A = this chain, B = another copy of it.
Amino acid sequence: MERYVLSADLGGTSCKIGLFDEATYTIIRKWTIPTDTSSNGKNILSDINKSIKKYMDKESIHINQIKGMGFGVPGCVTNSGVVNKCVNLGWDVVDVRNQFRKMSGIDNVKVANDANLAALGEAKLGSGKGSDCIVMLTLGTGIGGGIIIGDNILNGSMGAAGEIGHIVVNEDELEKCNCGNKGCLEQYASATGIVRVANRFMKEKEYDSPLYDYNKLSAKIIFDNAKKKDILSNEIISYCCAYLGKAIAIVCNIINPSVVVIGGGVSNAGEIIVDKLMDSFKDNVFHSALDTDIRLASLCNDAGIFGAALLVTEEGKK
């Protein structure tokens, strides 16, 4: 009778919603709604509920046919599905599981951190498929990390495991990261980090480069020019990817995953990222983890809703 799984990946601008076939884990339908962060984001869950109910009515799907709903949120989540501060959504402490249970009538509601869910999605249905232990880095505006061991998300004692973006990789950094520390990976290998490094390079030394012609730089512009053999762009990307390689080496020394998956918007640049980080990875990794497979993500922007859907059926998820 139960045939569907629902999931939602909550972002600061929009929420992606997915309806999955429970048997095959294929997406039947996906859509997005805007995220209303006004009044401390108090309408976010009810907006999602309304949107789902509208779709279910239209397609004559009864609530009995829904096995459950999984949520991915950009913040720390306790084991009982409570979100503890989620700046991008305007949330302080929100009991997502119980609030959504009440408003939707769906009993099986699971909640986890979005980077962890992207990792779960890639581990089970994407680039990490078949591996027993994967680490995923999501390189976007910031950097998220997720660790999957066996079938389980490594959540950590306070729901804060996988904060790979905030590993300090450069002792000599003078500028502060958003987190308050200095020299975090996020300052070099996120989309904003790459642009930050570019601006610094362009100020410190004069290059003959097309990068000076852009009013506003983006990580994509820099990658595109690096591929066209622009020297400055290549220096920027090499510099940023060296820190990425170092951080991945550190994570591999600690976790020893079989696969490291690189996803998020920045990873759309393609294999150039893996090529550019490899020397630094090899210089910093312990020999037992030297053969770790470093791959690009394959589920693209859907990893989050795939992971949130998996949460509903797999055992051991929080």
On A, residues with C-beta under 8 Å from B are 76, 131-133, 145, 147, 149, 154-164, 166-168, 170-171, 179-181, 246, 249-251, 253-258, 283-289, 291-292
Contact = CB atoms under 8 A, between A and B. Distances in A.
A291 B156 CA distance: 13
A249 B145 CA distance: 16
Given A76-B288, A163-B286, A254 B147 contact: yes
A129 to B, nearest CB: 14
A257 B157 contact: yes
Contacts of A147: 254
Contacts of A181: 283-286
A132 B147 CA distance: 17
Contacts of A257: 156-157
A170 B145 CA distance: 23
B255 A161 contact: yes
A256 B159 contact: yes
A168 B252 CA distance: 12
Given A160-B289, A289-B163, A255 B154 contact: yes
Given A284-B181, A286-B179, A254 B251 contact: yes
Contacts of A258: 157-158
10 contacts: A156-B289, A160-B288, A161-B254, A163-B288, A167-B254, A168-B249, A168-B250, A181-B283, A181-B284, A254-B254
Given A133-B157, A250-B250, A168 B256 contact: no
Contact of A154 (B149, B283, B286, B291): B149
A315 to B, nearest CB: 13
A77 to B, nearest CB: 11
Contacts of A156: 133, 255-257, 289
Nearest to A147: B254
A201 to B, nearest CB: 19
- Among A158, A164, A283, max chain B CB count under 10 A is at A158
Given A179-B287, A286-B160, A171 B171 contact: yes
A284 B284 CA distance: 19
B253 A164 contact: yes
Contacts of A284: 168, 181
A61 to B, nearest CB: 37
A233 B147 CA distance: 40
B254 A255 contact: yes
Contacts of A166: 253, 286
Contacts of A163: 253-254, 256, 286, 288-289
A254 B163 CA distance: 6
A285 B160 CA distance: 11
A61 B145 CA distance: 52
Given A149-B149, A163-B288, A288-B163, A158 B256 contact: yes
Contacts of A159: 256, 288
